[in-house]
Chains A and B, each alone.
Chain A
Amino acid sequence: MTLCYLVASVTFILGLKMLSNPASARKGNLVAAAGMTIAIIGTIFLYEEDGQKLGNYGWIFGGLLIGGIVGTLAAKKVKMTAMPEMVSLFNGMGGACAALISIAEFNHLLREIEQGGNAGEHTGKVLIIALGLIIGSVSFAGSMIAWGKLNGKVKDYSFKGHNILNLIFLAIALGSAAYLVVNPDHHLIFYGILALSLLYGVLFVLPIGGADMPVVISLLNSFTGVAAACGGFLYNNKVMLTGGILVGAAGTLLTILMCKAMNRSLLNVLVGSFGGSSAAASGISKQQGAYKEITLSDAAMVMAYAHKVMIVPGYGLAVAQAQHVCHELEKMLEEKGVEVNYAIHPVAGRMPGHMNVLLAEADVSYEKLMEMEHANDEFKTTDVVLILGANDVVNPAAKNDPASPIYGMPILEVEQAKTTIVNKRSMKPGYAGIENDLFFRPKTSMLFGDAKKVLQDLIAEIKTV
């Protein structure tokens, strides 16, 4: 069994490393999965404690089967655009698993004490159990809320003093855990900690906007890793320890990297709500002037006769589910000799990689997707930029307005192109809730309407050009 655990730990490290490179990513996933399987099977058949092997095979395999079937079905049937929520959902499952383990072990411990054990020698165990419970529950509750936010079921909600109240809950939970370590014999306190942790998890995620969910999920991901490591401490189980700490550390770094891509600090993401900042930003952009609208036929004309067109996809494209029509447009333009590429901003959409996944679903060639830096070099030689439901990622306020909540975030420099056409449903602000000065610039014109319909009409027009 030790060998199985060793192999599994190595596959986790290797798998994760391979996942950071596009060429080896898919194999990396399989490698880690194989390792996990080895660890699971090894545990079932080879685990021994005090000379006793594991029993209840029926229950174990039953559970594995149910979880396996439901998990596979859920993961396979869900739409590509729902992938991020699934990550959150499954993360929550892991957190809940860790919490349940803590509950079971706590009861086991209490029983041992009742049967005449000395409470004092269990101090370390109680601490680990309590930590596993808190971290697992916070991760579970938080992940469930994040899941709800990403599929639109949960709205943003916060109130004054929200953060202080939540920190108080956390403090009480931790304090109770400390008390419990010294006096383990208190069921109620244990379950109180459980309740407080769940509450903390909920309140922690509730005020954070949907656009920031990826960062939150990454953070919760590393929490669950730590919870798993707690389990590893408890059972002196090397593979749980390595897997848990690996994910805990990697997840934390990934969270920080994601924040860097948005040029915001983690604290800002977690605590800074949009309520305060947009009041300041809108003070600047009152004087905007008028925007120009462009007709479908003009848009079709200018695009059909362009040499280079750059499409900037955003959340609006996903909402309208217009990715397939977009691909049609791209093909049509290419038939007319236009070079078409896509400029993908790292935080366009609701998740890093969201746009890539969306366009890939529509069979758009991977080579046409340009990362922001590459795209920014191309804009100077681009004739037409077509912005489809993207807003904040092309907002010049990020460069010019220090009071803006998105200030400092690198954007797609579409202004360098000859002309820009913006497709939105209306003039309403995007996710950050701020005005976008780009819409009022001289080289920009607006093309209002639902992305899918507009694109379909555009295609029809281009056919006649």
Chain B
Amino acid sequence: MLQWISDNQQTIYIVILMIFVGIEVIGRVPSVLHTPLMSGANAIHGVVIIGAIIVMGKAEGDNYLALILGFLAVILGTLNVVGGFVVTDRMLEMFKKKK
């Protein structure tokens, strides 16, 4: 157990720190921004697309299952990323102050 912790300590540090950062950053958010913030966070977890790209990139030419799964995953991941950021932007457009 202790061995596992010391082997993976970098990862563990990152996890713990990111949890604190995540909580800190959300700190005092006005309720009117809850939804755009949720949308922004939604777009950020689209980072899962990196995994899809890796799957696709490593698939051998004859491994159709991996190719198809990877292809689908890339499309879905991109939808999350692109759709997420565009939707968030549209929501925030509405917050321009009218002069």
Contacts and interface: CB of A to CB of B under 8 A. Distances in A.
A67 B74 contact: yes
Contact of A366 (B44, B92, B97): B97
Given A40-B50, A44-B53, A248-B22, A12 B44 contact: yes
Contact of B32 (A55, A74, A352): A352
Interface residues of A, number: 115
A16 B80 contact: no
Given A25-B92, A36-B46, A371-B32, A249 B18 contact: yes
Nearest to A360: B94
A15 B47 CA distance: 14
B2 interface: no
Contacts of B56: 54, 56, 59-60, 63
Interface string A39-82: 11001100101001111100110111011101110111000100
Nearest to B39: A87
Interface in B33-78: 33-59, 61, 65-67, 69-78
A434 interface: no
A242 B15 CA distance: 7
A154 interface: no
Interface of B: 11, 14-15, 18-23, 25-59, 61, 65-67, 69-98
A83 B90 contact: yes
B84 A90 contact: yes
Given A29-B43, A40-B49, A97-B51, 17 more contacts: A32-B40, A36-B85, A59-B67, A67-B76, A93-B76, A94-B46, A98-B51, A104-B66, A224-B45, A235-B54, A244-B47, A245-B15, A246-B44, A248-B22, A250-B26, A346-B31, A360-B94
A19 interface: yes
B47 A59 contact: no
| A-B complex: 5 closest residue pairs judged by Cβ atoms | A67-B78, A54-B57, A249-B22, A63-B74, A71-B82
Q: Which of B18, B38, B55, B89 has the most CB of A within 10 A?
A: B38
Nearest to A366: B97
A353 B29 CA distance: 12
A372 to B, nearest CB: 8
Contacts, number: 371
B78 to A, nearest CB: 3
Q: Mostly helix, strand, loop or mixed at chain B's interface?
A: helix
Interface string A1-32: 00000001000110111011110011011101
B34 A257 contact: yes
Contacts of A98: 48, 51
7 contacts: A16-B44, A19-B40, A63-B71, A75-B83, A227-B48, A228-B51, A243-B45
B90 A246 contact: no
Contacts of B48: 94, 97-98, 101, 224, 227-228, 231, 240, 244
A20 B47 contact: no
Contacts of B59: 55-56, 104
A115 to B, nearest CB: 13
B25 A20 contact: yes
A233 interface: yes
Interface stretch (A214-222, A294-302, A390-398): A214-222
Interface string A250-276: 111110011001000000000000000
B82 A240 contact: no
B61 to A, nearest CB: 8
A357 interface: yes
B22 A246 contact: yes
B92 A29 contact: yes
